[in-house]
Amino acid sequence: MTKFFETITTVLAFFFFTGLNAQNNWYIDQQNGSNSNNGHSPVNALKSLDYILDNNLLQPGDTVFIMGRYNNPSYDPDFTYGGNSDRNNPHIWNRENTLKIYNVNGTKNKFITFKPYDENTILKGDGICILRIMNSSYLNIEGFNIYGEVENIPLSEAEGLETDGMQFLYLDSNTVDILHPALDEVLFRVEVGTTIEEIWNMTFPIIGQVYRPTYIDTKGIYITNSHHLNIVNNTIQFTPGCGLRIVESAYINVKGNDIHDCTRRSYSGTHALVITKSIPYTPESNDDLVYTIKVSGNKVHNNYNEIFSWVGTKPFIKPVIDEGKGISLQRNDYDSWQSSGQRILVENNICYWNGYSGVHSNDGYHIDFFNNTCYMNSYTNTVTYADGDQSGQNIGISTQRGHDIRICNNISVIDTDWGGYAISSSSSTDVIVSHNIIYGVNGIPNQDDDVVPIQENTIVADPLFVDATGNNFNIKSNSPAVNAAAAQYAPATDYYDFVRDTLPDIGAIEFHVTSVKENKNISSIIVYPNPFTDYITITNKRAKKETISIYNIEGNNVSSDVKIIKTNGHISINTSKLTSGIYLLKVNNSTETIIKR
């Protein structure tokens, strides 16, 4: 315990100067809570988040715990669409959000945190969005299981040609009540029974922006007009529409999320993780002066479209699936970006078996794609159209109509059976392509004519993953990726938050021998918040067994007074029985000083 007591003197001043300002924990239990409760303990949980927000009860530094299942008001897991005669059913048009966070603002020193109470918490929804965030700042959104309805929506209910599904239904501006439309107000962009061949040759009237069924386009997390948000360690799965979409926002940190099996019922040609129209932001004293958007350490996989899209602003419909990317940056090209000096960072992500590109930018300035691992991001061509017409060259890492783009230290493995590119660049300027590994599972990959003249140190070789078919993208000791990255572009840590060495590896995962992994100290594990109130969380994407102990200032082991809950890559510790003070958190052979307010 010597090291612990040496540390005490260095943190005592901080502890007392920060004070014991009141910071509340709030508990929300939609199934069993009541808005007549005070909301400050699990047994006195409130029923709805709206009650807290409408009464302005949240203060900077507060934490909101969501308990059990939380869903939108009309959620119905047993809903079945009855076909065209049911096309005005309010359930498919409802614009409900499951959890809506609006006008909630922490401060730069006191973020407001939203998180699950335990592993039983789940956010469900069949409305417009499961978790909606708007006009908010300084928030942590961490550890949620966001689960959509793809598994409960048969493909035949979503597609609408030879079936009477919802793909081509819409309401125009003349609709009296878009939540309860009359049967004759529900219009068809394409009449049931029209063939694919007929659509190719059809011209459609421009109808502009219209209302369309939300039931088959539910988004997971949708963020607008917000800044300083940490979206950390959430699982977003089986949402019919986009998994995570961030619009007109700045200083957003998207880290450690698992987004999979999304976008599959949507008519809007959407993607798993979308950053669009982001805004350069005047940095504050504690802000990163370089990156206003960070997307790092996420696993984005098995997201693809299963029906083709259409929009009311075009006079034609291309009846093929041509969207469904993993990470998609779109229209991040406001004039203010050009001279801002700020950038967007996409690093250490693992993207596999998405519909098209694993990582892509369209119309963007100042973007860095560093040390990502992309594998077989061509589900649509490789599987959906395996025996038909295949199209689209962007199936790895790609940029279109961009400026000042750096694509460095990535691994991109593609299906070479039909001719897409592992790395591609179209109509882009000032592009750096350096120290990447490209490989084709069925032969030598074709290379983009726009990339070949500018690329440096590209390695065309098998990256030697441990087990790509089993989705294990760790690299073997003899991988060509080992020690081959450009150090000036490599992140300090890898996907697992392991520190990279002075000769970093290409790709999201640094090679480490077992003995090194077992002796990683707690600095490679994220512990937050600290100082804390009743809960702390340890993020550990290595998913290894951890031995955890907590000692008080006298050196006594108080581990029996806390409850440790382990779920999917993070550990939550309930410390409500501990008194305010300074403690030592010991994880295996490593220690961290923690402070309870």
pLDDT of 520 > 70? The answer is: no
Determine the distance from the C-alpha atom of residue 455 to the mean position of all C-alpha atoms in its chain, rounded to a whole number.
30
- What number of CA atoms fall less than 13 Å from residue 175's CA on the CB side? 20
Q: Which of 348, 344, 347 is nearest to 329 (CA)?
A: 344
CB atoms near residue 453 (< 10 Å): 7
Decide yes or no: CATH 2.60.40 for domain 2-21+533-596.
yes
Residue with more model confidence, 540 or 566: 566
Q: Residue 340's pLDDT band (boundaries 50, 70, 90)?
A: confident
Tens-place pLDDT, residues 460-518: 999 999 999 899 999 999 999 999 999 999 999 999 999 999 999 999 999 975 433 33
pLDDT of 541 > 80? The answer is: no
Q: Which of 237, 239, 193 is nearest to 217 (CA)?
A: 239
pLDDT of 15 > 70? The answer is: no
As a whole number, mean pLDDT of residues 128-136 equals: 98
Tens-place pLDDT, residues 232-265: 999 999 999 999 999 999 999 999 999 999 999 9
As a whole number, mean pLDDT of residues 347-365 equals: 96
Domain ranges within the chain, ordered by starting residue:
2-21+533-596
Dihedral-angle region of residue 290 (phi above 0 means left; psi in -120 to 50 means alpha; beta otherwise): alpha
Instruction: Classify 30 as helix, strand or coil.
Output: coil
Dig out the tokens for 515 from the structure: 């003995």
Cis link prior to 529 (omega < 30° from 0)?
A: yes
As a whole number, mean pLDDT of residues 6-28 equals: 54
Tens-place pLDDT, residues 60-69: 999 999 999 9
CA gap 404, 338 in Å, rounded = 10
Dig out the tokens for 554 from the structure: 């006298």
Lowest mean pLDDT among 55-59, 125-129, 406-410, 573-577: 573-577
pTM of the model: 0.84
What average pLDDT does the structure give for the chain? 89
Q: Which of 80, 44, 86 is nearest to 65 (CA)?
A: 44
Q: Residue 595's pLDDT band (boundaries 50, 70, 90)?
A: confident
CB atoms near residue 169 (< 10 Å): 24
